Structure 1
Amino acid sequence: MILILRSLVRGRFLLMTIGFGIIIAAVLVGSALLAGTPQATLGSKIIPSPSTAPAGPPQRYILAEGSSADDVADQLEELGIIRSAAQFKILASLLGLQNRLVSGVYTLQPGDSTISILRRITVVGEVVPTIRITFPEGLRIEEMAEIAQQAGFGPAEEFIAAAREVELPLTLGVGLPEGVGNEGYLFPDTYIVPLGSSAAELVALMAETLHLRFSADLREAAARQGLTPHEVLTLASIVEREVAIAEERAVVAGIFFNRLEAFDRLGADATVQYCIATDLSSVEAYGWWKPGSDLTLGDLDCDSPYNTRRYTGMPPGPIASPGLASIAAVVYAEDTQYYYYVVDTRANDNSHCFAVTFEEHDDPNRCEKINQ
């Protein structure tokens, strides 16, 4: 691959090898140079002068899954790893690397050239060996740890320990009660990371990805409703476990807000399931989530602040990792008249029937009547 690029390098060619491709940057002194401005042009594009950030100690950088080249450029400039985000963006575009970013945890050296840093964090030439791992929505940390172990990230205990210790981005840590763990703060997604990544690096990437997906716009919309990120994630985790049908998520989120306002009680079976999973004999018999149809009266009385059948208000924190759809459903909950919902056993698709009063909800023929 040969690309002729207008550059500020006077009187010589700049030769850069990238994978199997060669870029020859030819010096073409234009009017911008003659005027002494620190830039040249390529067509209509402005090319910042080749420059590096001041040298400094190596910096740990987390490239979150789904990050754009613009996101990365801005973050690297803010960290002082590169001098110019604009230069990074243009070079990534010119070299066709903007869609070849590899998520992961990197140690980058301030003062290295932009080209060198691009080579580190993108797939160029030879394919970088990677591991692909998928975490479905609605899992506990222990379940995620089992998936990570099966994928080769070491014992499940290492993942669990890393999840407990991971440092959350400040914007997500707002409103996090003291003593509450990081359940719900690892974003469920498909991750492609460099081979040899540790469980701790994977966990850090998942927490950073949550920060990216639970965007500033969503956080601001939540704040306008008086909700902290922690409260949103807590409710979203319950919605994730309670609802399987996408279009029902915002309705159930609205029901939870109605219940909190009217009764100060959520009454969600998913929180009972989370509570009783502290009993390892229950986990051995039913897995981490005992089916709702098997819950007993004793289960419903499980003594934990996470049990919203027994305790008022919201639980101390999330019960699982919610996906983006459930987070958005809480932030943009439907203004509904309903207070109750129950699985429609006739439908065989885990959809629900909704009711305004407990009498409607308690009627054995409720779904037939409601849907008439």
Structure 2
Amino acid sequence: MPDNKFYSNSDDLSIDTLLEETKMQIDAAPGEASSILHDDAMPRAAELRPSVSYDTQEYVPVQNVPQQPAQPDFMPDFGDAFADYGVYEQPAEQMPMEEYEQEDYEDELMTQDEDPKPKKPKRKTGKRIIPLFVKVLLYVVIVGVVAVGLGYGAWECVKDVLAFGRASDEVTLTVKEGDTVEDIAQQLHDKGVIKYPWLFEFYCDFTDSADKIEPNKDGEAYTLYYNYDYHALIAGMRNHITRTEVRVMIPEGYTAAQIFDLMEEKKVCTVEQLKDCASNYEFDYWFLEDVAYGESNRLEGFLYPDTYDFYEEDEPERVLDKLLSNFNKKFGEEAREKLNALNVKLEERWRSAGYGDDYIDENRFTVRDLMCVASMIEKEAAAYDEAGNISSVIYNRLCNPADYPFLNIDATVVYALGGSVDGALTYEDTQVDSPYNTYVVKGLPAGPICNPGLSSISAALYPKDTNYFYYALDTQTGYHHFSETYAEHNEFLEGQDYG
């Protein structure tokens, strides 16, 4: 190690020893010390030390600094420690200083013998809690929106594939030689048969159905229906399929079960196909909004009796939709206004009988309630002339539930027993446990008991104004006899022989 005339040649000098030895050298050689410590010869320590601002932490270089005596090799870096004594080693290049935190700067001022004070752990403040909460909330919202969007989109696709809610109207389509699946999908979309052409294309690719679609022969267009699902649309665009038309006449008063049997007899659909469709298929009609799924007779009352044209081996959805669509046309806006007028009259009668708002709101007639009354009229009336009187008996009892809690309609018992009874009803028959049996269930039955015609629906909307509460079949005339009191009713029954 090179000699230095100010310091001892020792490898284990402490800071205090160095300071003391330096002081002794200055006292011993004031002239030499003066050349080192003189203000004009050497800048003050304050000028040599970097200018640090805790706000800006900017290094200010000092110009024209004289060359300082070389530091001994055994002092690795005591520039800061000796700053107050005028001994400072000028850096070779004045580079911009790194930015320091206040704690880092204080650490550099410590001497080697000092033990650094343990830093206190920084206390986390609540400043980041709110931003973190906002981020989490935003993430949850985004995920929720995406999930809802995907769910809605998936449901829309399912509706398009299965043709939910479409009408049963016919539509013609021409498939030319050379038409691609994309061309056909676009035609279907333009005619309003499908909503998503790309989905139809994907379905054809996924099911390998593209090759099953054939161009029209002899220029005849394919006859399709709006309520055809994708499978039926593809099947309907094949020339080798010949479809035989069948005309079916549905009588007034037929039950859903009877209609299903008739359709199977005409080779339109099987009973099981129609039952499954009636129980579970989602038909998009306002009058079915509150009708629960799961029962094969859930469409009872709305399968409008009329004459229809079907195909052999037709689609059950299209078959039932044709009947429901016909009811929807017959029971239009005018009929709904008549139902509202009927409710006004019923409300007046209930109020006059002492019933309040709660009872009235609970028993206000819906279109299904109206069809319950119409179906009972359809089954009970022996002739059209009786329909108005039978309707009046039903409403007279409904408006006086305290005195007449049960309607006692025989046709509801027959429906509860499966639709047919051998001979006259017995007392045991009238006690059968069923929500349709009006001998044991107060008020209206659980639903319509058949599919009534227009005359019975009209009688339900316009009951006659009578005081009748009873009626019974006159075995001599084949018509019904109507009575106002129970005594009159019993007197009439005594003269009848019902076998």
TM-score if structure 2 supplies the norm length?
0.45
RMSD of equivalent CA atoms: 3.0
**Residue 211 to residue 108, structure 1, CA distance change in 2 (3 Å):** closer
Segments of 5+ residues of structure 2 without an aligned counterpart are: 1-159, 171-188, 193-222, 229-235, 237-242, 344-364
Q: Deviations over 1:243-279 (max 9, x none)?
A: 13012112111110001122132110111111122xx
**Residue 321 to residue 294, structure 1, CA distance change in 2 (3 Å):** same
Q: Which of these residues, 322, 325, 332, is aligned with residue 208 of structure 1? A: 325
Contact map agreement 2:168 2:227 (CA 8 A) in 1: no
Equivalent-residue separation in structure 2 for 1:186 and 1:253 (angstroms): 21
| Equivalent position amino acid for 1:273 in 2 | V
Higher RCO (CA-CA < 8 Å; seq separation 6+): 1
**Residue 166 to residue 249, structure 1, CA distance change in 2 (3 Å):** farther
Which residue is 1:106 aligned to?
A: 225
Where do residues 230-249 of structure 1 align in structure 2 (5 Å cutoff)? 230-249=368-387
Contact map agreement 1:230 1:317 (CA 8 A) in 2: yes
Larger Rg: 1 or 2? 2
| SS in structure 2 of the partner of residue 209 of structure 1 | helix
Answer yes or no: is 1:229 the counterpart of 2:345: no
Contact map agreement 2:287 2:367 (CA 8 A) in 1: yes
Which residue is 1:267 aligned to?
A: 408
Q: Deviations over 1:38-82 (max 9, x none)?
A: xxxxxxxxxxxxxxxxxxx89743239xxxxxxxxxxxxxx9958
Which residue is 2:247 aligned to?
A: 132
Equivalent-residue separation in structure 2 for 1:289 and 1:170 (angstroms): 31
| SS in structure 2 of the partner of residue 131 of structure 1 | strand
Equivalent-residue separation in structure 1 for 2:309 and 2:286 (angstroms): 25
Which residue is 1:250 aligned to?
A: 388
| SS in structure 2 of the partner of residue 192 of structure 1 | strand
Q: Deviations over 1:174-232 (max 9, x none)?
A: 55467772222211111123455323311111111111112221122112222211111
1:326 deviation in Å?
Answer: 0.9
**Residue 148 to residue 295, structure 1, CA distance change in 2 (3 Å):** same
Answer yes or no: is 1:334 the counterpart of 2:472: no
Q: Deviations over 1:296-353 (max 9, x none)?
A: 1111101112110111111121111111111111011111121111112111xx3211
Equivalent-residue separation in structure 2 for 1:265 and 1:325 (angstroms): 25
1:233 deviation in Å?
Answer: 0.7
Equivalent-residue separation in structure 2 for 1:355 and 1:300 (angstroms): 21
Identity of aligned residues (%): 28
Answer yes or no: is 1:361 the counterpart of 2:489: yes
Which residue is 1:153 aligned to?
A: 268
Equivalent-residue separation in structure 1 for 2:190 and 2:335 (angstroms): 27
1:240 deviation in Å?
Answer: 0.9
Q: Which of these residues, 476, 482, 486, is aligned with residue 346 of structure 1? A: 476
Contact map agreement 2:438 2:444 (CA 8 A) in 1: yes
Residue-pair matches, total: 247
TM-score if structure 1 supplies the norm length?
0.60
The structure with the largest strand share of the pair is: 1
| SS in structure 1 of the partner of residue 277 of structure 2 | helix
Q: Which of these residues, 282, 294, 308, is aligned with residue 191 of structure 1? A: 308
Where do residues 303-322 of structure 1 align in structure 2 (5 Å cutoff)? 303-322=433-452
Which residue is 2:167 aligned to?
A: 61
| SS in structure 1 of the partner of residue 301 of structure 2 | coil
Contact map agreement 2:167 2:321 (CA 8 A) in 1: no
Where do residues 71-150 of structure 1 align in structure 2 (5 Å cutoff)? 81=191, 106-107=225-226, 130-150=245-265
Q: Which of these residues, 426, 432, 455, is aligned with residue 302 of structure 1? A: 432
Equivalent-residue separation in structure 2 for 1:319 and 1:161 (angstroms): 19
Contact map agreement 1:105 1:201 (CA 8 A) in 2: no
Q: Deviations over 1:120-148 (max 9, x none)?
A: 9xxxxxxx952100111222221111100
